[in-house]
Amino acid sequence: MTYYWNRFKLAPFVTYILVIMNVIVFGLMTLTGGTTSIENLIRWGADYAPLIIEQGQWYRLINPIFIHIGMEHILLNMITLFFIGNVLERIFGHWRFIVIYMIAGIGGNIASAVFAPESVAAGASTAIFGLFGAFLMVGESFWENPYVRRQTQTFIIFIILNLASGFVPNSGMDNFGHLGGLFTGFLAAYMVSVPKSVGTISKYKRILGVVLLLAIVFVAMNFGLFG
């Protein structure tokens, strides 16, 4: 029994739960009006600045993390989440991983609402880009490790290609949300740090990460959404 419990604790089960939750929400949306209908997206809590500002619907900064627009959207995001989640959850551990994921998702949705207030946005990609940001933090902190260095270089190329494709006309990609998730995920990773079994992060970097994260959210909320 202890053997199976230890295997369960080591498995990236939070990643699996997130994938399952997204698939369930996608299925329910499909049954209740579709995943490409603007009306249904708004009904399910998509990111839409006017409703956040005028009606105080703050859940719209969380719900979009679990909402997807069409089959291609959820398929690409869930494949990406499955593979990067398997790596990062083993590095950070379960609770650190979910904290980074949610902070990045919310941060990305705030950025989307601030810089594209007329758009109806949704998707786990804000949180997924936050995971990319978290790996960049690992790369910066443990650059001397050859494996980490190679993986970080790969992620940097992947991030650049994804952001570049977001500038293609009618791509449907939310680069503001992606960048917001990337930066907040990077800072959130410093804030929660890594387990001692992985290594040590300077406490000054951790403090700076918290200060910058709070400052960005404060500025975005007070001079962005309500500015």
Global confidence as pTM: 0.92
User: Which residue of the set 68, 141, 178, 193 is catalytic?
Assistant: 178
For residue 207, name the pLDDT band (cuts at 50, 70, 90): very high
Amino acid at 7: R
- Here the tokens at position 24 are 């369930």
Q: What CA–CA distance (Å, rounded) separates 45 from 22? A: 14
In the block, tokens 């992606």 appear at 178
Largest CA distance in the chain: 56
Q: Which of 112, 125, 141, 193 is catalytic?
A: 125
Residues 51-80 pLDDT 10s:
998 898 999 999 999 999 999 999 999 999
Domains of the chain, CATH where assigned: 2-225 (1.20.1540.10)
pLDDT, tens digit, for every residue of 142-188? Answer: 888 888 888 888 889 888 888 887 776 666 678 889 999 999 999 99
* pLDDT tens digits along 81-134: 999 999 999 999 999 999 999 999 999 999 999 998 889 999 999 999 999 999
Residue type, 191: M
Can you give the pLDDT at residue 1? 59
Measuring CA to CA, which residue among 74, 104, 76, 66 is closest to residue 192? 104
Helix/strand/coil (H/E/C) assignment for every residue in the chain: CHHHHHHHHHCCHHHHHHHHHHHHHHHHHHHCCCCCCHHHHHHCCCECHHHHHHHCCHHHHCHHHHCCCCHHHHHHHHHHHHHHHHHHHHHHCHHHHHHHHHHHHHHHHHHHHHHCCCCCECCCHHHHHHHHHHHHHHHHHCCCCHHHHHHHHHHHHHHHHHHHHCCCCCCCCCHHHHHHHHHHHHHHHHHHCCCCCCCCCCHHHHHHHHHHHHHHHHHHHHHHHCC
Is 178 an annotated catalytic residue?
yes
- Condensed to tens digits (0 to 9), the pLDDT of residues 18-58 reads 999 999 999 999 999 999 999 999 999 999 999 998 898 99
Q: Give the pLDDT score at 226.
A: 72
